[in-house]
Structure 1
Amino acid sequence: MLLGSLTLDNFGVYRGPQKVRFSTTKKSPITLIGGKNGTGKTSMLDSIPLCLYGSRARRILNGSSYPEYLNSMVHHGETTASITLEFERIEEGRKVPYVVERSWNRTTRGKSTDRLSVRIDGQARPDLVAVWPKFVEGVIPISVSDLTIFDGEKIASLADPSSSAEILRTSLYGLLGLDLVERLRSDLHDFRRRTAKAQDAQLAPQLAEKLTQAEKHLAKTRNESRLASQALADAESARTDLQSRLQKATDKLAIAGGNLLDQRDDLHRRLAEANASAISVDREMIQLAASDLPLTLVPNLLKQVAAAGEQSEASHLARQMRSAMALRDDRITGLLAAAFGFGQQEAELARDVLLTDLNSMEQPAKPTFSPSPECADAARSLLNLRSGELQKNAKRLTKRLDDLNSEIEHLEGVLAAVPDTDSVAPSVRQVATAEADLRAAEKSVERAKVDLDEAERRADQAQREFDAVAHEMLDAGVNDKNTARVAREVAAANEVLAEFAKHMIQKHLGRITNEINAALATLLRKQKLVSRVVINPDDLTVTLLNPQQESVDAQRLSAGERQMMATAVLWGLSRSTGMALPTVIDTPVGRLDRSHRKNLIRRYFPNASRQVVLLSTDEEIVGDHLQLLRPHIGFEQCLDFDETEGCTTVVMGYFDE
C-alpha cells in the first residue's frame, strides 16, 4: 500500500480543500511535512485512521462519542467537512488506485453522521461501502495501524517501564489478531450475564437481587476505570505540554546565554589555569631560545665551522708531523756523518735529499678560519644529535602555546557571552517555574497511574464478583438443560480461548523478538550495554540483556536511549506484520537529544518502511539534521497557519525555505 495524497476539506484548522502529496519513489521514500505547534499536525495524523476506519478509530476520539467528534472537527464557520485519501495497492500484478472519501455535515444537535464513498480504478463502488469495515482489514488492519501511524507520545509511553508492558500487550494482541479473541471472551462474559439475568427470579430471588447489585457495581467500577484512564491521558497530555514549555524556556535562556551563568566560576577558573600554563610554556620557550636552538636555524654555517675545525686539526697534525720528521732527518744526517765520515759537503747533500722528500709530502689546505676544538665539537654535536631534539622541543612548546592561546580566546569569548544576572532573570524565572510545574505534572501522572491501577483492580474484582454471582444464578437453574449447557460451554470456551492466546503468543513471539532485536542492533549505539531483548510470554514484560546475557536495569539507560528502545520495538513489530505499509509519525524526534536524533535520521527514517511520512515541528528536523535527511526526501510541504484567519493552508517547501 502506498499513499498518494490526502485532502482535508474544512477539517479542524484546515479551511477549504488542502491537499498533501506523498512521495512514492523508492529512492526518496520520505515526505516531510513541517508545522509549528497548533498548526494541525495531529489533526492530519488522525485524519488517516478516521478516513479508513470511521467510528472504529477509537484512539482519536479522546472520550467523545463519534458523532460529537465529527461535529467538533468541522472548521469554524463552515457546515461541511470531508477527508479524501488516495492510495494504491498491487493486485494481480498491477497497481490499482483507490479513492476513499468520508464526509459529514455540522448539525445543530451537535452530532454528525458520516457518509463514505469508495472509488477503485476510477469506478464508484457502492457495493464495498456496506462491507468496508471488513474489506479495509485486508488493506491495513486496524489492529496494525497503531504500529505504523503514531506520534512521539506513543514512543514516550512505550519507553516508560511502568506502561510499556500494557502497550506492548495491546500491540502484540493487535498484531496477532488476539484482540478479536479478547473481544470474544468479553462477549462470552456478556452472554453469560444475559443468560444469568434471564433466569426466573422466582427460583432464586435473593440471587437475582444480588446479581442486579453486582451488575450495578460492575458498571460503576468500569466507569471509574474509564474516568481514571481519561484522567491519566489528560495528565500525560498536560505533562507533554509542560515539557514543550520547559524546552522553549530553556532554549530561550540558552540563546540569551543564561545557561552559562552556572558555569561562570568554572570558566574563570579554567581561564586562570590556561593563562598560568601559557606563562609557564612561554618561560620554557624563552629558556629554549637562550640555548643552542637559534644555531639550528643556520645548519650550513654549522657545517662550515665543523669543516674548518677538521681542517684546522689536520693542519695542526701536519705541522707536528713535519717537525718530528725534521728532527728525524737531523738525526739521520748525524748518524750518517758519524758512521761513514761524511764531510760537510756530503752531509749537506744528504740533508737536501731528505728535505726534498719532506717537502714533497701533500700539505693540508689552510682553513679560512681556525675554530677552537671545543667550538668544532659543539657544531658537530648540534648537527648530529641535539638539533633534532631541540627542534622537537620547540615544536612541542609552540603547539602547546597555540592550543593554550586558542583555549584562552575561546574561554574569553564564552565569558564575554555570559550575561549579567539581571538581564536574564526573567528567563531564569520562566525556566524555574516550568521545571516546578513539570515536577508537579510528573507527580500528577504518577498519582493518575496509581488511581488507574486501583480503579482497574476494583473493576477486575467487581467482574470476578459478578461472574461468581452469575455462576451461582446459573447453578440455580441447573434443572434447565439449556442453562446448564451454557454454563459449561462458556467456561470451556473461556479456557480454550485463553489457551489459544497463550499458544499464539508462544508460537510467534520468537520471530517478533528477532525482528525487534534486528531493529535494536540498527538503532541503539550502546551495544556493550544492551545486546538484545527478551519478552516474557506470560506477562509480556521486556528484559534487556547485555553481551554476557545478564539482565540490565532499564533505568541505567538514558531517557533518549529508552526511547530508541521503544522505537526499535515499534519498528520490529511493524516489520513482523509482513505487510508493506506506510509509516506516519507525528513529532518524531521531539524528546530526543541531538545524538539520538541523528541516529534516527540516519538509520531509521530512511528505512522505516517503503513509504515514510514525518510531521515535524520547527525545532526537530532542521539544520544539520535536515541536510542529513534531504537525500531521502521526495516531497517537502509546510503547514502555514494564519493567526488572523485562524486557519491552516498547505504550501510547498519546508518552513522558510
Structure 2
Amino acid sequence: MKVEKAIIKNFMPFYKEVPVDLQTNSDSPLILMGAKNDRGKTAFFTAMRFCLYGFEGGNTLKSEKRRQAINRKAAVEGLDEASVTLEFSHNQNIYEIERVIEFDQVDDPDDRNWKSCHVTVKKPSVSEGKEIVINQAPNEDPAKKYNRFINGILPESASDFFFFDGEELDRYAGSYNDSEADVRTAIETVLGIREIQNAIQDLRDEGKDYYQDEWKDKAEDVEELQDLSEDISSVQSDIEAKKTEKDSAQTELRQKEKRRHQIGDELAEASGVATKQDRVNEIAEEIGDSAQDDSLKGKLDEKRGARRELHSRLGPLMIGIGAKHGVENYDVSIVSGMEDTIEYLLDRDDCLCGADIDEDAEETLENTLEKLRKDEMSTISELQGFASDHLECLTSGDYPENLNVSQAKSEYVSIQEDIEGLAEDINDLEDEKETLEEEIEEATVTAEEAESLQETKETLDEEIGGLKNTIETLDEDLEELEEKKRKLEQTVNSMEAADEEEQRYRTLMKLSDECADAWEKIRDRYVETQRESVEKHASNIFQELTNKNDVYEGLTISKDYKLDVKTISGNRDIEEQNPSKGARQIIAYSFIAGLNKFTAREAPVIIDTPIGRLDPEHKQNLIEYFPNFRDQVVILYQPGELDEEDIKQMGDNISSHLEIHQRENDPESSEVSSIESETDLKRVLAK
C-alpha cells in the first residue's frame, strides 16, 4: 500500500476540499509536514486513520467523534458532508477509499450533528471513470465485506505500528503494566501470526462445529444431542459476552493507566514547584528582618551596632590623646583669645581704657595680629604632625601603655569581617530566592492544579484497581465457562455412533482438532524464528539510535515476550534500568523498526510528533534513520522539533515539504500547501 493522494473535505479544521499530494519515489521516501499548534497536524493524522478504519470506541464515543469531526463553518453553511479520501496503490492496483459523514445545516456550530456515515471503495473502470467495488452505505454491502478488504491490506490491529504518535511509543518500553502483552500482540499482528491463530480458531470452532452439526443429524438420540447443542451454544454465547466485556475493560484499563502515567509526570513537575516554594519560604525566614535576633538581618544589625559602639569608643580615644598633648604643650586658648581682642579693637576708634586709637596704635595692633596668626599656623601644623604620628601609632600598634587600643582594633576588624560576610550571605540568598521565584512563575502546573491532579490520580488508582479486579473475575468466569463447554463437548463426543456416516463425521471432528494442534506447533516455531529475527534487527537499530553505546549493547525479546535492554553488565529489565522518556522512545522506535523489517504488510509509516522528548544526539540519530523505515514515511512535526540543519541533513531523501497553515482571512480553518521558499521554511520552523 502506497498512498498517492489525500483529499480532506470539511473535516475538523479543513474547510471545503483540501488536496494533499503524498507521492514519493524510492530515492526520496520522506514527506515532511510542519504545523504550529492547533493548525491541524493531529487532525491530518486522525483523518488518515478515520478514512481507513473509522473511529474507535463504543457507539456513544463514535457518535461524539463523528459530530466533532464536522467542520464548524461547513455545518453552518450546510455543505452536507465531511469526508476523507485516500488514493493508493496496492499489488499493482489503484484503489480509492472514501469515508463520508453526512450532516444537516445548523445555525449554531455547537449544535452540529451527523446523520449517517459510510465508506466506499473504488478502482479504475475497464471503460472510463471508476467503478465502486464496495459500498458500505445503508442497505448496501455489509461491514464484513469492507473489513475483509482492509484486513487484506493493513488490519486495524496492525495499524498502530505504521500510524503512530512518537510521544506515545513508550507503551512498548515498559511504561505500562501490560507492555509484555503489547509486545506479543505487536509481533503476532504485524508478522502475520494472528492469521495463523485465526486459522487455528476456525479449525477448533467453525470447522469442528460444522462436522459436529453434520454428525448430530446422523446420531440416534437426536433430541438429547439437540439439548446438548443448545447448551453448548448458550455457553459459547456466554463466553463471547465475557470476552467482549473483558476486551472493553482492558481497553478502559489501558486508557486510565496512560492518563495516570501522564498525571504522574505532571505531579512530578508540581512536586518540583512545591520544593522550590519551600526553599523560597526557608530563605525568607533565614534572611528575616531587623526585629528577629536569630535572622541574618537581625545578626547584621547587631554587628553594625557593635561597630558603632567601637566608633564611639575609638573616636574620643584619639581626640583625647590629641587634646591632652595640646593642653600640655600649647596655650592655644590664650592665643585664640588675643586674636579676638585685637580684631575687636581694630574695629573701634578708642581703646578699652578710653584712649584714642591713632594710626600708630592701629599699625602696632595689626603687626601684633599678624605675628599671632603666624604663631597659630605654626601651632596648627605641629598639631597636624602630632595627629599623623598618632595615626601611625594606631596602625603600628605602638600605643601608650595605659591605652587598650590594640584590643579595640582587633575587635573592630573582626566585627567588620562579620558584617561583610553577613551582607554577602544575604545578597546570595536574595539572588537564589529571585531565581526560584522566576522558575515558580514559569511553571506550567500550579499548587492548586497539583492538588486537583492528586485527587484525579487517587480516583484513577481506585478505578484501575476495580478494573483489574473485574478482569480477574472475568478470567475466572471464562475459565469456568470453557471448562463447562469442554465437558459438554466430551459428553457429545462420548455418545455412541449410530452408523458409519456418524463415525465419519466423528473422525472429521477429531481431525479438525489434530489439524489445529499441528498449526499451533507450526505457529510456535514460526513465532520463535520471527522473534529472534525481530530481536536481532531491533537490537542493531537500537545501537544506531542510542546515545549510550558505552552502556547499551542492544535489545532482547525473551520467550515470554519481555522486551529488555542488553547492557555491558548483562540483560536488564527496562523498569530496572529506568531509562529516560527519550531513551524509552528510542527503544520503541527500534522495536517498531525491527517489526517493519520482517512484516509482510506494505504500508506507509506516518509519525505524529516524531522527536518529542529526544535529546540532540538521539534526534540526529533518528533523523539519519528515518529514510530506512519504509518506502514512504510521512513526518508530522511542530515548531522546535526540526531546524534548518535537520532539513539539510535529510536533503535528497525528501520528496516534498508541506505546511499545514491557517486559511487566508479565516483563522478557524486550515489548508495544506508546499514550502517553496526560505521565508516559508523559516516561518514553519520558528518556535
Q: TM-score range by the shorter chain?
A: 0.5 to 0.7
Aligned partner of 1:147 among 161, 183, 197: 161
2:120 touches 2:132 (CA, 8 Å); kept in 1? no
Deviation at 1:127, TM superposition (A): 7.5
Equivalent residue letter for 2:197 = E
Deviation at 1:232, TM superposition (A): 1.8
Deviation at 1:622, TM superposition (A): 0.8
- 1:475 equivalenced with 2:494 (yes/no): yes
2:337 corresponds in structure 1 to: none
Deviation at 1:412, TM superposition (A): 7.5
- Over 3 Å counting, the alpha-carbon distance change for 1:458 and 1:542 in structure 2 is farther
> Distance in 2 between the 1:422 and 1:570 partners?
39
1:158 corresponds in structure 2 to: 172
1:264 touches 1:418 (CA, 8 Å); kept in 2? yes
Deviation at 1:6, TM superposition (A): 1.8
- Over 3 Å counting, the alpha-carbon distance change for 1:629 and 1:499 in structure 2 is same
1:196 touches 1:470 (CA, 8 Å); kept in 2? no
Summarize deviations over 1:427-450 as a string: whole Å, max 9, x none.
Answer: 332244335534653664465355
> Distance in 1 between the 2:279 and 2:23 partners?
47
Aligned partner of 1:465 among 455, 474, 484: 484
* Worse-matched range after superposition: 71-80 or 642-651: 642-651
Q: TM-score, normalised by structure 1?
A: 0.62
1:105 touches 1:112 (CA, 8 Å); kept in 2? yes
Aligned partner of 1:419 among 437, 453, 459: 437
> Distance in 2 between the 1:518 and 1:532 partners?
7
Deviation at 1:532, TM superposition (A): 2.4
2:646 corresponds in structure 1 to: 629
- Over 3 Å counting, the alpha-carbon distance change for 1:67 and 1:450 in structure 2 is closer
- Over 3 Å counting, the alpha-carbon distance change for 1:508 and 1:419 in structure 2 is closer
Aligned partner of 1:118 among 108, 117, 123: 123
1:218 corresponds in structure 2 to: 239
2:610 touches 2:636 (CA, 8 Å); kept in 1? yes
2:186 corresponds in structure 1 to: 171
Counting only pairs closer than 5 Å after superposition, residues 17-416 of structure 1 correspond to structure 2 as 17-22=17-22, 24=24, 26=27, 29-34=30-35, 36=37, 40-52=40-52, 57=53, 60-64=55-59, 72=67, 73-75=69-71, 77=75, 78-87=79-88, 99-103=96-100, 105-106=102-103, 110-119=115-124, 124-126=129-131, 144-152=158-166, 155-160=169-174, 162-191=177-206, 192-193=208-209, 199=216, 202-204=223-225, 207-208=228-229, 210-236=231-257, 238-239=259-260, 242=263, 260-261=276-277, 415-416=433-434
Deviation at 1:196, TM superposition (A): 5.3
- Over 3 Å counting, the alpha-carbon distance change for 1:615 and 1:495 in structure 2 is same
1:598 corresponds in structure 2 to: 619
1:176 touches 1:504 (CA, 8 Å); kept in 2? no
> Distance in 2 between the 1:156 and 1:594 partners?
16
Aligned partner of 2:567 among 519, 543, 546: 546
> Distance in 1 between the 2:124 and 2:250 partners?
39
SS in 2 for 1:202: helix
> Distance in 2 between the 1:424 and 1:136 partners?
48
- Over 3 Å counting, the alpha-carbon distance change for 1:80 and 1:500 in structure 2 is same
SS in 2 for 1:575: helix
Deviation at 1:517, TM superposition (A): 0.7
Summarize deviations over 1:358-382 as a string: whole Å, max 9, x none.
Answer: xxxxxxxxxxxxxxxxxxxxxxxxx
How many correspondences in the alignment? Answer: 501
1:13 touches 1:40 (CA, 8 Å); kept in 2? yes
Provide structure 1 residue ranges, at least 5 long, that are not aligned to the other structure: 272-407
Identity %: 16
- 1:430 equivalenced with 2:445 (yes/no): no
SS in 2 for 1:185: helix
Aligned partner of 1:448 among 426, 448, 467: 467
1:521 corresponds in structure 2 to: 543
2:203 touches 2:513 (CA, 8 Å); kept in 1? no
2:236 touches 2:485 (CA, 8 Å); kept in 1? yes
Aligned-CA RMSD value = 4.9
Equivalent residue letter for 1:498 = E
2:343 corresponds in structure 1 to: none
1:68 touches 1:110 (CA, 8 Å); kept in 2? no
2:8 corresponds in structure 1 to: 8
- Over 3 Å counting, the alpha-carbon distance change for 1:221 and 1:515 in structure 2 is same
> Distance in 2 between the 1:5 and 1:477 partners?
63
Aligned partner of 1:565 among 587, 599, 605: 587
- Over 3 Å counting, the alpha-carbon distance change for 1:470 and 1:126 in structure 2 is farther
Aligned partner of 2:607 among 585, 592, 610: 585
Q: TM-score, normalised by structure 2?
A: 0.60
- Over 3 Å counting, the alpha-carbon distance change for 1:2 and 1:115 in structure 2 is closer
2:190 touches 2:601 (CA, 8 Å); kept in 1? no
SS in 1 for 2:610: coil
1:638 touches 1:655 (CA, 8 Å); kept in 2? no
